[in-house]
Amino acid sequence: MSDRKEREPYLRMSGVFKHFPGVKALNGVNFRLFPGEVHALMGENGAGKSTLIKVLTGVYAIDRGEVELGGIPVSIHSPQEAQNAGISTVYQEVNLCPNLTVAENIYIGREPRRFGRILWKEMNRQAEHLLRERLQLTIDVTQPLQMYSVAVQQLVAIARALSVSAKVLILDEPTSSLDRNEVAQLFKIMRKLKEDGLAILFVTHFLDQVYDISDRITILRNGEFIGEYEAASLPRIELVSKMIGKELELQGNDPARSGRTGAPKEPLLEAVGLGRKGAIEPFDLTIGKGEVVSIAGLLGSGRTEMARLFFGADRPDQGFMRLTDGSGSVLSPRQAIDNGIAYCSENRKTEGIIDDLTVRENIVLALQATRGWVRRIPRKKQEELADHYIKALNINPPHPEHLVKNLSGGNQQKVILARWLLTQPKLLILDEPTRGIDIGAKAEILKLVLSLAEQGMSVLFVSSELEEVVRVSDRIVVLRDRKKVKEMQEDIGQQQVMQAIAGG
Amino acid sequence: MQIHRHHLFWPLAMLAALLLFNLIYSPDFYSVQVRGGHLYGTLIDILNFGSPLILVAIGMTLVIATGGIDLSVGSVVAISGAVACLTISRGSDQGSIGLILAAIGLSLALAVVLGLWNGMLVSTIGMQPIVATLILMVAGRGIAQLITSGQIITVTSEPYAYLGSGSLLGLPFSIFVVAALFAAAGLLTRRTALGLFIESVGRNPGASRLAGIRSRYVLIAVYLFCGLCAAIAGLILSSNVSSADGNNAGLWYELDAILAVVIGGTSLTGGRFYLTGTLIGALTIQTLTTTIYMIGVPPEITLVVKAFVVLVVCLVQSETFRKSLAHRWKTRRYPAEREVAKHA
């Protein structure tokens, strides 16, 4: 990158604000993109990455702030305007038409015409030329797109973006469904495009890839602008700590959980080579009775995918899982429940509560499911159970007949916890149980986790909050880029965990 | 709880409005006479002629509660009548009770098969309910015509005619069938956990699966039950006229049944269901049909009038519509509020 380019960013956003009711999605964010660079935009869930992209592509209007393109202030009102301004986007899911030909997909809506007639030959020739020259891809452009692999489809999407004389290319998680070789191929092409002077904005959750390809990194957190860095001079550990918002200096003296480690626990469950393609690479993991095992890692590192395999919510395609009491296999949630496993999903609304039912009905649901439809839990008994857990977990408002949709997030979470505690599980899997709930409820839930473990229940705890992970765990499993990279048992401190997450 | 917030308030209000209209415009509507120990009158007729619709609508309620829909009920009505009448017409003694029971049993057994078919398509194969049941809706009409050989099969069987036109304790027998099935549906869903499972699966299938509910069996059960309800309706309908017409029996019943369910307050998106609401909804539709005939609307525009009333009923029931109407009323007087409310 020459000095002249350094002085002249093609795209400059300064002090950009975008608020939604109750959410400050972008709070004074700055962003610069230079021609001929790959710029990684990093941040955890809710950091504001997608909002920033949507602002750039004209989906959202900004509340305040400036956007300049080539030194001229602009305001982009629609995706069409963004394209005309030279900003093209390739989204995570390829949104092309699989049944149309490659050439049609590239030129749809902009076909070369004469007297209103489409010049098919000309179009195919141009498509072939574009793919060959700029993406080094030689394929038959008259074949339907669905004939080709996801990786090629991704390249076609990029070709479509380039065909509108793009100056800025936004790649939103382009690698999430590609394998290693395909990623390498994509990176080769990205490097070539970079040399051609294109400015590339790259979003990914894979740390290795960030360092592989990016020149610069901009970090956002909770809608705040954290900083812009040269990739070469930003150590991984610092990147991670800036993303999750923990200053390194404050770390070391964090009291790790003590007193409960020591004697090795009798194993409850054992996963051997368990894995699922595209979700998580095969791993071994043993969970002891009464043990709290945490899964730590960045967003997209495979935390949820791992938890779901344990519950049979997704089927593994490799390896197996064994319960030490020798009971049956776990290939569906129902089998998991019958084997004493319970799972609180991170998606409370779509996979947790039944919003139109009452608190009571939500609480008894899983227990009733195991009893079958004939042996209904008598109404009186249902009320007793609901009342018991409303008191025990401090659910507010304390009315079993309230619709669960009218409760706050934290109380909904407690309702789901109650649902599972009622089944008296041997292993409780909690996926981000404290996300989006207030501090008081968070503390209560953590306390509950610890007291359950005291009583002999095993807990598999997934959280992006390192502080929580460190506080409750006997053992921490660290994931990176959909792979189990480390298991930590002793001297668990936030810094060590962060180091493991960042890798080397 | 305020009374107008109860889920039965608006369905009842609509029915009451229709009845009130009749009180003013056709006083004959309410006259009930006793002739030979039987009750006669428009109100009785509404219950009697409305009973097949109520039966179909009860089954439809459960299907809709799972987030599905069953378009095939009209065809099942035709098939069940056709099978029963064919069986009876083939018998040597059309009046024998054994033959009648066999005919009814055969109809119901076939309905179970058809219900299973719908249920499997939806749950096991994962077809969209509207498409899955459209298949039987179209094919079923053909099957019914095949059974009747395209003719109208007439039977002369007194015991069979009793089902649809006989009286018990002075009331049409079909009313007792409806009452029994209504009670059975209520017990089946509310005294077991089936109702909870249906509402749970209908409202949030993903969460239900993770809670351990086997939604496949729940779906099969509701389509099976819906098929049975339609078959019983078909028996009553064909018994009432002592004949089976593969072409026209039960024609458009699916639409009236869906309408009855919706008027009763059960949402087409699935979840909470209200059997009593459905009952009121079906009675509302039957009352409306009867009213239109009684006040002498010219036959060529009866459907238009019916559609218009249905539109009004649906709009009044819609909370969104009521709110926006109330809002407009308010902002007419305070124009500034329109701006404020937009952001609320």
Across the range B64-83, mean pLDDT stands at: 93
pLDDT at A504: 63
pLDDT at B3: 67
pLDDT at B331: 60
pLDDT at A491: 67
Give me the percent of chain B exceeding a pLDDT of 90: 40
Distance CA A419, CA A373 (A): 17
pLDDT at B114: 94
Which CATH number is A3-249's, of 3.40.50.150, 3.20.20.10, 3.40.50.300, 3.40.47.10? 3.40.50.300
pLDDT at A22: 66
List the domain boundaries for chain B: 41-296
Q: For residue A463, what are its two tokens?
A: 């959280």
pLDDT at residue B314 is higher than 70: yes
Which residue spans within chain B are E strands per DSSP? 32-35, 38-41, 152-154, 167-168, 171-172, 243-245
Across the range A209-235, mean pLDDT stands at: 89
pLDDT at A368: 92
User: What band does B93 get if pLDDT is binned at 50, 70 and 90?
Assistant: confident
Distance CA A401, CA A200 (A): 54
Distance CA A185, CA A135 (A): 10
Distance of CA A392 to CAs A73, A459, A468, B241, Å? 58, 19, 22, 63
CB contact under 8 A, B211 and A355: no
Which residues of chain B make contact with A370, given a CB cutoff of 8 A?
Answer: 212
Question: Exposure pattern of A288-299 as b/e (b: 16+ CB <10 Å)?
Answer: bbbbbbbbbbbe
Phi/psi at B196 (5° precision):
-60, -45
Peptide bond into A397 cis (omega under 30): yes
3-state secondary structure of A273: strand
Longest CA–CA separation in chain A, Å: 83
Q: For residue A435, what are its two tokens?
A: 């996300």
Distance CA A271, CA A363 (A): 30
Give me the percent of chain A exceeding a pLDDT of 70: 91
Distance CA A332, CA A341 (A): 11
Across the range A363-372, mean pLDDT stands at: 91
pLDDT at A20: 77
pLDDT in tens, A187-197: 888 898 888 88
Residue A36 CB partners (closer than 8 Å, separation 6+): A1, A5, A194, A195, A196, A197, A198, A199
**Residue A190 CA from chain centroid, whole number:** 23
pLDDT in tens, A91-105: 766 678 888 999 988
Distance CA B292, CA B296 (A): 6
Range 216-255 of A in CB contact (< 8 A) with B: none
Which of B196, B209, B218 minimises the CB distance to A368?
Answer: B196
Q: Which residue of A343, A347, A354 is the best one to mutate when testing the B interface, meaning the one whose CB has the most B CBs within 10 A?
A: A354
Range 179-208 of B in CB contact (< 8 A) with A: 191-194, 196-197, 199-200, 203-204, 206-208
Whether A262 and A290 have beta carbons less than 8 Å apart is answered as no
CB contact under 8 A, A371 and B200: no
pLDDT at residue A107 is higher than 50: yes
pLDDT in tens, A391-445: 888 887 888 998 888 887 778 888 999 999 999 899 999 998 887 676 667 778 8
Q: For residue A90, what are its two tokens?
A: 């390739």
pLDDT at B344: 36
pLDDT at residue A90 is higher than 60: yes
**Identity of the amino acid at A361:** E
From the list A125, A136, A230, A127, the residue with the least C-alpha distance to A190 is A136
pLDDT at A2: 45
The residue that leads in pLDDT, B236 or B8, is: B236
User: What band does A253 get if pLDDT is binned at 50, 70 and 90?
Assistant: very low
Which residues of chain A make contact with B225, given a CB cutoff of 8 A?
Answer: none
Is the pTM of the predicted complex or chain greater than 0.90? Answer: no
Per CATH, which fold does B41-296 belong to? ABC transporter involved in vitamin B12 uptake, BtuC (1.10.3470)
pLDDT at A374: 86
Q: Which residue of B210, B217, B218, B342 is the best one to mutate when testing the A interface, meaning the one whose CB has the most A CBs within 10 A?
A: B210
pLDDT at A146: 83
CA-nearest residue of chain A to B203? A354
pLDDT at B257: 92
pLDDT in tens, B26-41: 777 777 777 777 777 7
Across the range B168-182, mean pLDDT stands at: 89
Q: For residue A372, what are its two tokens?
A: 């079958």
Whether B199 and B273 have beta carbons less than 8 Å apart is answered as yes
Whether A50 and A57 have beta carbons less than 8 Å apart is answered as no
Q: For residue B22, what are its two tokens?
A: 């009749």
pLDDT in tens, A135-152: 878 888 888 888 887 778
ipTM of model:
0.81
CB under 8 A, 24+ apart: contacts of A370-378: A370/A337, A370/A338, A370/A423, A370/B212, A371/B193, A372/B193, A373/B192, A373/B193, A373/B194, A373/B197, A373/B218, A374/B192, A374/B193, A375/B193, A376/B191, A376/B192, A376/B193, A376/B196, A377/B193
